[in-house]
Protein backbone atom coordinates (compact mmCIF):
# COMPACT_ATOMS: atom_id res chain seq x y z
CA UNK A 1 0.00 0.00 0.00
CA UNK A 2 1.31 3.43 -0.89
CA UNK A 3 1.81 5.81 2.03
CA UNK A 4 0.01 9.03 1.15
CA UNK A 5 1.70 12.29 1.98
CA UNK A 6 0.94 14.23 5.14
CA UNK A 7 2.10 17.72 5.99
CA UNK A 8 5.14 16.23 7.70
CA UNK A 9 6.14 13.82 4.95
CA UNK A 10 7.72 16.40 2.72
CA UNK A 11 10.80 16.24 0.57
CA UNK A 12 12.93 18.25 2.99
CA UNK A 13 12.15 16.23 6.10
CA UNK A 14 12.85 12.77 7.48
CA UNK A 15 9.69 10.96 8.52
CA UNK A 16 9.51 9.66 12.07
CA UNK A 17 5.90 8.52 11.73
CA UNK A 18 5.13 4.95 12.73
CA UNK A 19 1.36 4.84 12.31
CA UNK A 20 0.00 2.58 9.60
CA UNK A 21 -1.50 4.00 6.44
CA UNK A 22 -4.98 5.35 6.93
CA UNK A 23 -4.80 5.11 10.73
CA UNK A 24 -6.33 8.12 12.43
CA UNK A 25 -4.12 10.23 14.63
CA UNK A 26 -5.19 12.07 17.80
CA UNK A 27 -5.95 15.76 17.37
CA UNK A 28 -2.90 17.89 18.22
CA UNK A 29 -2.90 19.19 21.80
CA UNK A 30 -0.11 21.76 21.35
CA UNK A 31 -0.51 24.71 19.05
CA UNK A 32 0.53 28.31 18.56
CA UNK A 33 -0.24 30.51 21.54
CA UNK A 34 0.04 27.62 24.00
CA UNK A 35 2.48 27.66 26.90
CA UNK A 36 5.73 26.02 25.84
CA UNK A 37 6.25 22.62 27.52
CA UNK A 38 9.22 21.95 29.72
CA UNK A 39 12.43 20.92 27.96
CA UNK A 40 13.64 17.71 29.64
CA UNK A 41 17.25 16.96 28.74
CA UNK A 42 19.52 14.16 29.87
CA UNK A 43 22.65 15.98 28.72
CA UNK A 44 23.74 19.23 27.10
CA UNK A 45 26.53 18.10 24.79
CA UNK A 46 27.45 21.53 23.51
CA UNK A 47 26.75 25.06 24.75
CA UNK A 48 24.84 26.19 27.82
CA UNK A 49 21.15 25.75 28.62
CA UNK A 50 19.63 24.88 31.99
CA UNK A 51 16.27 23.77 30.61
CA UNK A 52 14.40 26.88 31.75
CA UNK A 53 12.87 29.61 29.60
CA UNK A 54 13.60 33.13 30.83
CA UNK A 55 11.23 36.06 30.36
CA UNK A 56 12.02 38.45 27.50
CA UNK A 57 14.20 35.82 25.82
CA UNK A 58 13.46 33.86 22.65
CA UNK A 59 14.21 30.17 22.29
CA UNK A 60 14.23 27.84 19.30
CA UNK A 61 13.72 24.17 20.20
CA UNK A 62 14.70 22.16 17.12
CA UNK A 63 14.42 18.37 16.75
CA UNK A 64 16.98 16.52 14.64
CA UNK A 65 18.98 13.29 14.28
CA UNK A 66 22.43 12.36 13.01
CA UNK A 67 20.90 10.03 10.37
CA UNK A 68 18.64 12.74 8.90
CA UNK A 69 20.04 14.41 5.76
CA UNK A 70 17.71 17.45 5.83
CA UNK A 71 18.64 17.97 9.50
CA UNK A 72 22.30 18.18 8.52
CA UNK A 73 21.48 20.59 5.73
CA UNK A 74 19.70 22.86 8.23
CA UNK A 75 22.55 22.96 10.74
CA UNK A 76 24.75 25.61 9.10
CA UNK A 77 21.68 27.81 8.74
CA UNK A 78 20.87 27.42 12.43
CA UNK A 79 24.45 28.39 13.19
CA UNK A 80 24.09 31.53 11.07
CA UNK A 81 20.87 32.46 12.85
CA UNK A 82 22.45 31.91 16.27
CA UNK A 83 25.34 34.20 15.35
CA UNK A 84 22.95 36.82 13.95
CA UNK A 85 20.82 36.86 17.10
CA UNK A 86 23.53 36.17 19.65
CA UNK A 87 23.15 39.60 21.26
CA UNK A 88 19.36 39.76 20.84
CA UNK A 89 18.38 37.22 23.46
CA UNK A 90 17.93 34.19 21.19
CA UNK A 91 19.04 30.68 22.15
CA UNK A 92 18.81 27.83 19.64
CA UNK A 93 18.68 24.32 21.09
CA UNK A 94 19.04 21.26 18.85
CA UNK A 95 17.50 18.21 20.55
CA UNK A 96 18.24 14.62 19.51
CA UNK A 97 16.86 11.44 21.08
CA UNK A 98 19.99 9.49 20.14
CA UNK A 99 22.78 8.48 22.54
CA UNK A 100 25.18 11.05 23.90
CA UNK A 101 28.11 9.21 22.29
CA UNK A 102 26.54 9.14 18.84
CA UNK A 103 25.69 12.84 18.96
CA UNK A 104 29.05 13.86 20.45
CA UNK A 105 30.96 11.82 17.88
CA UNK A 106 28.94 13.35 15.05
CA UNK A 107 29.29 17.01 16.03
CA UNK A 108 32.95 16.52 16.89
CA UNK A 109 34.21 15.35 13.49
CA UNK A 110 35.06 17.11 10.25
CA UNK A 111 33.71 20.63 10.01
CA UNK A 112 30.62 19.89 12.11
CA UNK A 113 32.05 21.77 15.12
CA UNK A 114 31.87 24.91 12.97
CA UNK A 115 28.46 23.99 11.53
CA UNK A 116 26.88 23.49 14.97
CA UNK A 117 27.56 26.72 16.81
CA UNK A 118 24.48 26.51 19.02
CA UNK A 119 23.25 24.36 21.92
CA UNK A 120 23.19 20.63 21.17
CA UNK A 121 21.37 18.45 23.69
CA UNK A 122 20.06 14.93 24.32
CA UNK A 123 16.39 14.29 24.99
CA UNK A 124 15.53 12.63 28.29
CA UNK A 125 13.84 9.37 27.26
CA UNK A 126 11.94 11.24 24.49
CA UNK A 127 10.09 13.35 27.06
CA UNK A 128 10.76 16.57 25.15
CA UNK A 129 9.93 15.03 21.78
CA UNK A 130 6.65 13.75 23.20
CA UNK A 131 5.78 17.11 24.77
CA UNK A 132 6.53 19.03 21.57
CA UNK A 133 6.56 16.88 18.42
CA UNK A 134 3.89 14.35 19.31
CA UNK A 135 1.67 16.89 21.06
CA UNK A 136 1.81 19.19 18.03
CA UNK A 137 1.16 16.38 15.55
CA UNK A 138 4.58 16.74 13.92
CA UNK A 139 5.95 13.55 12.35
CA UNK A 140 9.00 14.78 10.45
CA UNK A 141 12.38 16.22 11.34
CA UNK A 142 13.90 18.73 11.35
CA UNK A 143 11.11 20.66 13.04
CA UNK A 144 11.61 23.85 15.02
CA UNK A 145 9.44 25.46 17.71
CA UNK A 146 9.97 29.15 18.45
CA UNK A 147 9.20 30.03 22.06
CA UNK A 148 8.55 33.76 22.39
CA UNK A 149 9.41 36.25 25.08
CA UNK A 150 6.35 35.35 27.18
CA UNK A 151 6.99 31.61 27.11
CA UNK A 152 4.40 30.80 24.45
CA UNK A 153 4.91 28.66 21.34
CA UNK A 154 4.69 31.24 18.55
CA UNK A 155 5.80 29.31 15.46
CA UNK A 156 6.23 25.68 14.37
CA UNK A 157 7.84 24.55 11.13
CA UNK A 158 10.93 23.67 9.14
CA UNK A 159 14.04 25.51 10.44
CA UNK A 160 14.95 26.60 6.91
CA UNK A 161 11.68 28.57 6.82
CA UNK A 162 11.85 30.38 10.13
CA UNK A 163 13.97 33.44 9.26
CA UNK A 164 11.05 35.84 8.86
CA UNK A 165 8.97 34.74 11.86
CA UNK A 166 12.07 34.66 14.07
CA UNK A 167 13.00 38.22 13.05
CA UNK A 168 9.45 39.41 13.74
CA UNK A 169 9.23 37.63 17.09
CA UNK A 170 12.52 39.19 18.16
CA UNK A 171 11.59 42.73 17.11
CA UNK A 172 8.02 42.51 18.39
CA UNK A 173 6.22 42.85 15.06
CA UNK A 174 4.98 39.24 14.88
CA UNK A 175 1.22 38.80 14.49
CA UNK A 176 0.56 35.73 16.62
CA UNK A 177 -3.20 35.74 16.06
CA UNK A 178 -2.77 35.68 12.30
CA UNK A 179 -0.14 32.95 12.60
CA UNK A 180 -2.48 30.90 14.80
CA UNK A 181 -5.22 31.10 12.17
CA UNK A 182 -2.84 29.96 9.41
CA UNK A 183 -1.42 27.17 11.53
CA UNK A 184 -4.92 25.95 12.40
CA UNK A 185 -5.69 25.74 8.68
CA UNK A 186 -2.66 23.50 8.26
CA UNK A 187 -3.68 21.30 11.20
CA UNK A 188 -7.27 21.09 9.94
CA UNK A 189 -6.00 20.05 6.53
CA UNK A 190 -3.83 17.38 8.11
CA UNK A 191 -6.92 15.92 9.78
CA UNK A 192 -8.81 16.14 6.47
CA UNK A 193 -5.93 14.31 4.79
CA UNK A 194 -6.08 11.53 7.35
CA UNK A 195 -9.84 11.19 6.83
CA UNK A 196 -9.32 10.90 3.05
CA UNK A 197 -6.62 8.24 3.37
CA UNK A 198 -9.12 5.37 3.47
CA UNK A 199 -10.79 6.52 0.25
CA UNK A 200 -7.45 7.05 -1.46
CA UNK A 201 -6.24 3.65 -0.29
CA UNK A 202 -9.35 1.95 -1.66
CA UNK A 203 -8.99 3.71 -5.03
CA UNK A 204 -5.32 2.74 -5.16
CA UNK A 205 -6.03 -0.90 -4.38
CA UNK A 206 -8.72 -0.98 -7.07
CA UNK A 207 -6.34 0.77 -9.49
CA UNK A 208 -9.06 3.36 -10.04
CA UNK A 209 -6.58 6.06 -11.00
CA UNK A 210 -9.18 8.58 -12.15
CA UNK A 211 -10.97 8.39 -8.80
CA UNK A 212 -7.69 8.63 -6.91
CA UNK A 213 -6.61 11.72 -8.87
CA UNK A 214 -10.04 13.27 -8.33
CA UNK A 215 -9.77 12.85 -4.55
CA UNK A 216 -6.26 14.29 -4.57
CA UNK A 217 -7.33 17.22 -6.76
CA UNK A 218 -10.07 17.99 -4.23
CA UNK A 219 -7.53 17.91 -1.41
CA UNK A 220 -5.16 20.08 -3.42
CA UNK A 221 -7.88 22.71 -3.87
CA UNK A 222 -8.33 22.95 -0.09
CA UNK A 223 -4.67 22.56 0.89
CA UNK A 224 -2.48 25.33 2.34
CA UNK A 225 -0.22 26.74 -0.38
CA UNK A 226 2.88 25.06 1.03
CA UNK A 227 1.22 21.64 0.77
CA UNK A 228 0.20 21.86 -2.89
CA UNK A 229 3.58 20.80 -4.37
CA UNK A 230 3.67 17.78 -2.06
CA UNK A 231 0.32 16.56 -3.34
CA UNK A 232 1.40 17.25 -6.93
CA UNK A 233 4.56 15.23 -6.33
CA UNK A 234 2.54 12.29 -5.02
CA UNK A 235 0.24 12.49 -8.03
CA UNK A 236 3.25 12.40 -10.33
CA UNK A 237 4.74 9.40 -8.53
CA UNK A 238 1.50 7.45 -8.80
CA UNK A 239 0.90 8.26 -12.46
CA UNK A 240 4.51 7.56 -13.47
CA UNK A 241 4.82 4.43 -11.34
CA UNK A 242 1.86 2.29 -10.34
CA UNK A 243 -0.56 3.70 -12.93
CA UNK A 244 2.07 3.67 -15.71
CA UNK A 245 0.50 6.66 -17.44
CA UNK A 246 3.61 8.62 -18.47
CA UNK A 247 1.87 11.25 -20.57
CA UNK A 248 -0.33 12.21 -17.66
CA UNK A 249 2.56 11.96 -15.21
CA UNK A 250 4.92 14.26 -17.08
CA UNK A 251 2.20 16.83 -17.57
CA UNK A 252 2.07 17.00 -13.77
CA UNK A 253 5.89 17.13 -13.62
CA UNK A 254 5.97 20.10 -16.02
CA UNK A 255 3.41 21.85 -13.84
CA UNK A 256 5.51 21.23 -10.71
CA UNK A 257 8.57 22.75 -12.39
CA UNK A 258 6.63 25.72 -13.75
CA UNK A 259 5.13 26.55 -10.35
CA UNK A 260 7.91 25.56 -7.95
CA UNK A 261 11.25 25.91 -9.75
CA UNK A 262 12.64 27.95 -6.84
CA UNK A 263 11.96 25.10 -4.38
CA UNK A 264 15.26 23.21 -4.32
CA UNK A 265 14.09 20.20 -2.25
CA UNK A 266 11.09 19.73 -4.53
CA UNK A 267 13.20 19.96 -7.70
CA UNK A 268 15.66 17.51 -6.16
CA UNK A 269 12.91 15.04 -5.30
CA UNK A 270 11.31 15.28 -8.74
CA UNK A 271 14.54 14.86 -10.70
CA UNK A 272 15.77 12.01 -8.50
CA UNK A 273 12.43 10.19 -8.70
CA UNK A 274 12.32 10.38 -12.49
CA UNK A 275 15.93 9.25 -12.82
CA UNK A 276 16.08 6.46 -10.24
CA UNK A 277 12.68 5.25 -9.01
CA UNK A 278 12.51 1.55 -9.99
CA UNK A 279 8.73 1.73 -10.35
CA UNK A 280 9.06 4.11 -13.29
CA UNK A 281 9.59 2.35 -16.63
CA UNK A 282 9.19 5.37 -18.92
CA UNK A 283 11.82 7.90 -17.80
CA UNK A 284 11.66 11.37 -19.33
CA UNK A 285 15.22 12.36 -18.55
CA UNK A 286 14.86 15.71 -20.31
CA UNK A 287 12.28 16.72 -17.73
CA UNK A 288 14.48 15.28 -14.98
CA UNK A 289 17.34 17.43 -16.27
CA UNK A 290 15.11 20.50 -16.34
CA UNK A 291 14.13 19.93 -12.70
CA UNK A 292 17.72 19.23 -11.62
CA UNK A 293 19.04 22.40 -13.27
CA UNK A 294 16.26 24.41 -11.61
CA UNK A 295 17.22 22.91 -8.24
CA UNK A 296 20.90 23.76 -8.70
CA UNK A 297 19.95 27.31 -9.63
CA UNK A 298 17.65 27.62 -6.61
CA UNK A 299 20.49 26.50 -4.32
CA UNK A 300 23.10 28.71 -6.05
CA UNK A 301 25.03 25.54 -6.82
CA UNK A 302 25.94 25.16 -3.15
CA UNK A 303 24.05 21.99 -2.21
CA UNK A 304 26.03 18.77 -2.65
CA UNK A 305 23.00 16.49 -2.75
CA UNK A 306 21.38 18.64 -5.44
CA UNK A 307 24.56 18.54 -7.51
CA UNK A 308 24.69 14.76 -7.09
CA UNK A 309 21.16 14.52 -8.46
CA UNK A 310 22.08 16.67 -11.46
CA UNK A 311 25.17 14.51 -12.09
CA UNK A 312 23.05 11.36 -11.86
CA UNK A 313 20.65 12.68 -14.49
CA UNK A 314 23.53 13.78 -16.72
CA UNK A 315 25.08 10.32 -16.42
CA UNK A 316 21.84 8.60 -17.39
CA UNK A 317 21.66 10.89 -20.41
CA UNK A 318 25.13 9.73 -21.44
CA UNK A 319 26.68 13.13 -20.74
CA UNK A 320 29.52 11.52 -18.83
CA UNK A 321 32.00 14.39 -18.98
CA UNK A 322 29.42 16.82 -17.61
CA UNK A 323 28.34 14.28 -14.99
CA UNK A 324 31.92 13.83 -13.76
CA UNK A 325 32.50 17.57 -13.44
CA UNK A 326 29.22 18.02 -11.57
CA UNK A 327 29.88 15.07 -9.24
CA UNK A 328 33.36 16.37 -8.46
CA UNK A 329 31.74 19.61 -7.30
CA UNK A 330 29.33 17.61 -5.15
CA UNK A 331 32.23 15.62 -3.70
CA UNK A 332 33.94 18.81 -2.54
CA UNK A 333 30.80 19.80 -0.64
CA UNK A 334 30.37 16.67 1.47
CA UNK A 335 32.15 15.54 4.60
CA UNK A 336 30.00 12.43 4.88
CA UNK A 337 32.29 9.43 4.29
CA UNK A 338 29.51 7.23 2.91
CA UNK A 339 28.32 9.88 0.48
CA UNK A 340 31.87 10.63 -0.58
CA UNK A 341 32.44 6.95 -1.37
CA UNK A 342 29.19 6.85 -3.35
CA UNK A 343 30.13 9.96 -5.34
CA UNK A 344 33.60 8.60 -6.10
CA UNK A 345 32.11 5.30 -7.27
CA UNK A 346 29.86 7.16 -9.69
CA UNK A 347 32.78 9.16 -11.07
CA UNK A 348 34.77 5.96 -11.60
CA UNK A 349 31.80 4.32 -13.34
CA UNK A 350 31.32 7.26 -15.69
CA UNK A 351 35.01 7.32 -16.56
CA UNK A 352 34.76 3.65 -17.57
CA UNK A 353 31.66 4.46 -19.63
CA UNK A 354 33.53 7.28 -21.38
CA UNK A 355 36.43 5.00 -22.19
CA UNK A 356 34.11 2.26 -23.42
CA UNK A 357 32.01 4.49 -25.65
CA UNK A 358 34.98 6.47 -26.92
State pLDDT tens for residues 58-114.
Answer: 999 999 999 998 899 899 999 999 999 989 999 999 999 999 999 999 999 988 999
pLDDT at 346: 96
Average pLDDT, the chain: 90
Buried b (16+ CB within 10 A) or exposed e, 255-289: ebbeebbebbbbbbbbbbbbbeeeebeebbbebbb
Q: Pick 208-357's CATH classification: 1.10.760.10, 1.25.40.10, 1.10.3720.10, 3.30.70.1380.
A: 1.25.40.10
Question: Residue 251 above 70 pLDDT?
Answer: yes
CA distance 132 to 136: 6
Exposure class string for 24-47: b at 16+ Cβ within 10 A, else e: eeeebebbbebebbebbbeebbbb
Which residues, at least 6 apart from 301, have a Cβ–Cβ distance to it below 8 Å?
A: 307, 329
Alpha-carbon separation of residue 192 from 6, 102, 185, 226, 322 (angstroms) = 10, 38, 10, 16, 45
Give 295's contacts (C-beta < 8 A, 6+ positions apart): 264, 266, 267, 268, 271, 303, 306, 309, 310
12-26, 36-50, 206-220: which has the minimum mean pLDDT?
Answer: 12-26
Check residues 195 and 259 and name the one with the higher pLDDT: 259
DSSP run (H or E) holding 214: helix 209-222
Q: What element of type H or E holds 15?
A: strand 14-15
Q: Classify strands 41-46 and 58-63 as parallel, antiparallel or unpaired.
A: unpaired
Among 160, 165, 34, 157, CA closest to 90? 165
Is residue 19 predicted with pLDDT exceeding 70?
no
27: pLDDT strictly greater than 80:
no
Per-residue pLDDT at 4 exceeds 60: no
132 by Cβ neighbours in 10 Å (0-12 / 13-18 / 19+) ranks as: buried
pLDDT of 272 strictly over 80: yes
CA distances (Å), 116 to each of 75, 189, 303, in order?
6, 34, 17
The ranges assigned to domains in the chain are: 31-174, 208-357
d(CA 213, CA 219): 10
Confidence tier at 287 by pLDDT (50, 70, 90): very high
Task: Please list, in sequence order, all residues whose beta carbon lies within 8 angstroms of the beta carbon of residue 129, skipping any fewer than 6 positions away.
Answer: 63, 95, 97, 123
pLDDT class of 254 with cuts at 50, 70, 90: very high
Give the pLDDT confidence of 323-353 residue by residue, as tens digits: 999 999 999 998 778 889 999 999 999 999 9
Coil/strand/helix, residue 41: strand
| pLDDT value at residue 230 | 86
- Overall pTM > 0.75: no
Mind listing the pLDDT tens digit for each residue in 36-65? 999 999 999 999 999 899 999 999 999 999
Please state at what angle helix 209-222 crosses helix 228-240, rounded to 10 degrees: 170
Fold match flag (31-174 vs 208-357): no
Which helix (H) or strand (E) covers residue 141, if one does? Answer: strand 140-141
Q: Which of 258, 257, 315, 322 is nearest to 285 (CA)?
A: 315
Fold of 31-174: Glutaredoxin (3.40.30)
Amino acid sequence: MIRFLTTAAVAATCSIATAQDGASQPAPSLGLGDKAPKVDLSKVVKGDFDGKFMNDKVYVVEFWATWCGPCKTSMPHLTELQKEYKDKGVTIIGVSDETEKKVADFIGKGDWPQKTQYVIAIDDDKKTSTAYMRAAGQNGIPTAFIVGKTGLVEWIGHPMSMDEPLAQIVDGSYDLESAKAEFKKTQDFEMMMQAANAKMGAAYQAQNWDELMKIMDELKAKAPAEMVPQIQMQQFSIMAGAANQPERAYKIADQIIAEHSDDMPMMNALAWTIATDPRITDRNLDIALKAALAGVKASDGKDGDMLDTLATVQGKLGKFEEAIKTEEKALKMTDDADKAAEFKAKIAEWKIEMATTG
